[in-house]
A and B are shown apart, each in its own frame.
Chain A
Amino acid sequence: MIGIIRYGAGNIFSLTAALDRLGIAYGMVHTEADLEGFDRYIIPGVGHAGAAMHKLESTGLVPAIKALNKPTLGICVGMQLMTAYSEEGDASLLNIFPIKTLKFPGDTEFKVPHTGWNQVFPEKGNPLFTGIPDGSHFYYVHSYFIEYDTLYTLASTNYIHKFSASIWHNNFYGVQFHPEKSGVYGETLLKNFSNI
């Protein structure tokens, strides 16, 4: 059963709706004691990374999250929180991944937020992308991205330049796109995570 980390950043209605459609069981994690009851976790998040980190810190869950050894998936800002630093709010983050979250420059050719369906190319073999063809489209809406890193980037997308569509380190996974809004392949990815 998936424990969804609740810390007050963004709505989770679409995520839980997707899990309901897929028949994947989940519950809510508000405190450290709640972590016990689950075999994997999702860290959701939309909005401002710096503000989200403040909210996460105020739950007291930070040390426990960093110490997790069960599969843990960060989505969008939830993924960015797992990096060391974000330019959004000049914020120090969880540092599970020692890489940075940076701002897209943005111009009339490459609009920011990066909004819409872009192609995702897995760079490593990993069960998270089982059954998802290379170059499948996923839905993005974000102004900040995680830098490409040969060690941690699990899948990449190209917008202005290559960035981390997905990251992976031990039991920690992150996706910048929104699997809950990304059609059937998004649902496949959530299903894959529930089986890791």
Chain B
Amino acid sequence: MLSKRIIPCLDVKDGRTVKGVNFVDLRDAGDPVELAWNYSQQGADELVFLDITATVERRKTMVELVKAVARQINIPFTIGGGINEIADADALLNAGADKISINSAAVRNPALIDELAKAFGVQFVVIAVDTRVLNGKNIVHLNGGRLPTEKQTLDWIQEAESRGAGEILLTSMDHDGTKGGFDNGLLKQVNDAVNIPVIASGGAGAVEHFVDVFHKTNVDAALAASVFHYGEILIPDLKTILKENNIEVRV
């Protein structure tokens, strides 16, 4: 059977991981490659790197990062952050990225999804959607949830699918950072409405939250950052409990 995926997410700036990381046996907690290797050894199914570098050198630093990861890591990974055009995506593909994640650039220019899917195949194109409830409706937000758009979340996800998205990474900004669990209501609604894989993100704080999101929504994957980085949840323990709850995982 196809396994549900567990995906740690790493924020990277200027080639270094940001946000605290608290692995006891890590020589250099800021080295994304060492961290990625560590996660792959723990049984992570996939990794997401979110590059928040804001300099003019950003493409070059992203390409260097992707190459360094691809040289060392034997599981798939996605890179996102500031990918605006085909040339960005092409450079990252050739550096060994398995998938790219597009957020604001796709909202601002939806045709970019069509272009990327045509150029590289749908399997390469992950659409990341940050959503927040505004006046009772789920609305797509930009800039880390600070800037609301005109788009309703489910409508935008369905549009992205029809344009050639191969996967949806859905982050609830209302749940993100709360450690109170995933937004299972919205995730189920979205998962039941599309024929492409959905990654749940935002709100993971305990092992039960992962059990819940898979049982209640049947999403394909769950992503988290701090609970993994701070060692609050260890991936082997998480997978053991998922398995005990009859959720198919790779162990």
List A residues at the B interface (Cβ < 8 Å): 10-11, 13-14, 17-18, 20-21, 46-48, 106-108, 111-119, 137, 139, 141-143, 158-159, 178, 180-184, 186-187
Whether A119 lies near B1 (C-beta < 8 A) is yes
Known: A108-B192, A137-B3. 8 other contacts (CB 8 A): A17-B72, A17-B96, A111-B194, A112-B196, A113-B166, A116-B2, A178-B76, A180-B74
Q: From DSSP, what is the main secondary structure of chain B's interface residues?
A: loop
Asked if B149 is at the interface of the complex by the 8 Å CB criterion, the answer is no
Segment with Cβ contacts to A, from B120-128, B171-179, B206-214: B120-128
Q: Which of A106, A116, A119, A141 contacts B45 (CB 8 A)?
A: A116
Supposing A108-B191, A184-B74 touch, asked if A14 and B96 sit within 8 A by C-beta, the answer is: yes
Whether A117 lies near B3 (C-beta < 8 A) is yes
Contact with A along B189-223 (1 / 0, CB 8 A): 00111111110000000000000000000001100
In the complex, A20 Cα to B72 Cα: how many Å? 10
In the complex, A155 Cα to B247 Cα: how many Å? 24
Q: Which of B40, B98, B121 contacts A48 (CB 8 A)?
A: B121
Separation in Å of the A195 CB from the closest CB of chain B? 19
Interface residue count on the B side (C-beta < 8 Å) = 39
Asked if B67 is at the interface of the complex by the 8 Å CB criterion, the answer is yes
Whether A13 lies near B70 (C-beta < 8 A) is yes
Whether B121 lies near A47 (C-beta < 8 A) is yes
Separation in Å of the A70 CB from the closest CB of chain B? 26
Q: Which residues of B contact A21 (CB under 8 A)?
A: 71-72, 74
Q: Which residues of B contact A178 (CB under 8 A)?
A: 76
Whether B197 lies near A113 (C-beta < 8 A) is yes
In the complex, A18 Cα to B71 Cα: how many Å? 7
Chain A residue nearest in CB terms to B66: A13
Whether A11 lies near B93 (C-beta < 8 A) is yes
List B residues at the A interface (Cβ < 8 Å): 1-5, 40, 45-46, 67, 70-72, 74-76, 93-96, 98-99, 120-124, 166-167, 191-198, 220-221, 250
Q: Which of B70, B96, B195 contacts A111 (CB 8 A)?
A: B195
Whether B195 lies near A108 (C-beta < 8 A) is yes
Whether A111 lies near B98 (C-beta < 8 A) is no
Whether A116 lies near B197 (C-beta < 8 A) is yes
Chain B residue nearest in CB terms to A186: B74
Q: Which residues of B contact A18 (CB under 8 A)?
A: 74
Chain B residue nearest in CB terms to A157: B2
Whether B196 lies near A113 (C-beta < 8 A) is yes
Q: Which residues of B contact A13 (CB under 8 A)?
A: 67, 70, 94-96
Whether A182 lies near B197 (C-beta < 8 A) is no
Supposing A115-B166, A181-B98 touch, asked if A143 and B250 sit within 8 A by C-beta, the answer is: no
Separation in Å of the A132 CB from the closest CB of chain B? 14
Separation in Å of the B227 CB from the closest CB of chain A? 21
Whether A182 lies near B45 (C-beta < 8 A) is no
Most chain B CB atoms below 10 A, which of A115, A137, A143: A115
Whether A14 lies near B98 (C-beta < 8 A) is yes
9 A-B pairs within 8 Å (CB atoms) are namely A10-B93, A111-B220, A113-B122, A113-B196, A143-B123, A158-B1, A159-B2, A181-B76, A181-B98
